[in-house]
Homo-oligomer: A and B are copies of this chain.
Amino acid sequence: CSAAAQAQSNVTLYGDLDEYLGYIHSSSGAHITGLNDGTSLRSRLGFRGVEDLGAGYQAKFQLESGFNADSGTQADSARFFDRQSWVGINTPVGEFRLGRQNTEIQQIGGAIDYTERTTFGSIVNTFGVPSRYDNDISYKSPRIAGFQGTVHYALAEQPGGGHAQSAIYQLAVDYTNGPYRAGYAGIAAKPAPATAANLATHLDNKVQYHNLYADYDYGQGKVYLAYVRSNNITANASGLTAGTILSNVASPNNLFPGTDANARRYFNVYQVSADYRVAPQLRVGALYGVIKDKSGGDAGAKGGNVGAYYDMSKRTTLYGFANYMKNDANAGFRFSGSAGPSANLAGADINGKGLTGLQAGIIHRF
């Protein structure tokens, strides 16, 4: 083996491409067909490494860039390593990381439903998931008696003393025991202090997202239960409930103003799903979920999907999904996968409408 190839052994390249033909039909009659990225595993390119420091210590890093394989564009035009960008030290008493990191909520997608909480049909995915934050410091414990805990603290980088409380906090506990898995992952953030300019509209409400889950592996497949409670939903140009208050980075520097009255509206999300391995290469599943608007504003939704994965190899999978969702009168939730469709219907064809979605595509991991 050449010296140059050896020199590369500090870095592992990895990633995947996930592209699908997607069709969305609204009960308004509007429809759209597109070649989209990321039914369930957003296309990405990553660089990662582990250095053994001895005595149970390791230095680690990971840099991960999402992109749209249908167009070659970056997932986040402002961040090249938009998905992960961190350096850390693993120790005998747990792992510490610094940088842009996935939330624990995002990380446990595989425990949420049979689609790894992606595809158009996953109601938890449609509701919206806080995925990652800048300036994030995390600690993950070793797994002890089946339990593993994680905490995150993402700095609000602001001058002055009143902003430390506006940091973004995360807490997660995951429990595994043979065929059983269960846990909690949550996030909470307080808005920036009121300013003279926004005093009249400023709210003190924390934005919160709480996620409980439980899985059972029955041998030929799994059953997944998930529950979410959150007030992190707002309106945007795409629909009445198509946006989030606390985005994947709260601009600027992890700080949100606290002036969105939607933070007073809580939603509960309930979802059940299961899959079944028909053959070594073929897995089928079904999912049903409900978003309930606890404020009584009739801004919930319900829906589900059926789907199948066919493994051409460990690295290459074909898949197909048929999905349906019905928005309540004042809701504008949209289908999303691991990434949103590259073109979509207008808000008027989403708000209060029923949506049918078909997805057929390929994932290739490398």
Task: Give residues in A with beta carbon < 8 Å to B.
Answer: 1-15, 17, 19, 30-35, 45, 47, 49, 51, 53, 57, 59-61, 63, 65, 67-74, 76-87, 89, 98-100, 134-137, 155, 157-161, 164, 249, 252-253, 312-313, 315-316, 342-343, 345-346, 349, 361-362, 364, 366
Whether A135 contacts B34 in the complex (CB less than 8 A), given A53-B316, A61-B366, A70-B100, comes out as: yes
A sample of 26 inter-chain contacts (CB < 8 A) reads: A1-B2, A1-B6, A4-B10, A4-B12, A10-B14, A11-B13, A11-B15, A17-B85, A32-B159, A35-B155, A45-B63, A53-B313, A53-B316, A57-B312, A60-B364, A63-B67, A67-B85, A69-B85, A69-B99, A69-B100, A70-B98, A70-B135, A71-B85, A72-B76, A72-B134, A135-B342
> Contacts of A82 on B, CB cut-off 8 Å?
72
> Contacts of A68 on B, CB cut-off 8 Å?
85
Do A313 and B51 touch (CB < 8 A)? yes
What copy number does this chain have within its complex?
Answer: 3
Interchain CA distance A261-B351 in the complex, whole Å = 40
Residue among B4, B158, B316, B361 making CB contact with A9, cutoff 8 Å = B4
Do A13 and B8 touch (CB < 8 A)? yes
- Minimum CB–CB distance from A51 to chain B (whole Å) comes to 6
Do A8 and B1 touch (CB < 8 A)? no
Interchain CA distance A277-B174 in the complex, whole Å = 44
Do B134 and A71 touch (CB < 8 A)? yes
- Look across to chain B and name the residue whose beta carbon is closest to the beta carbon of A30: B159
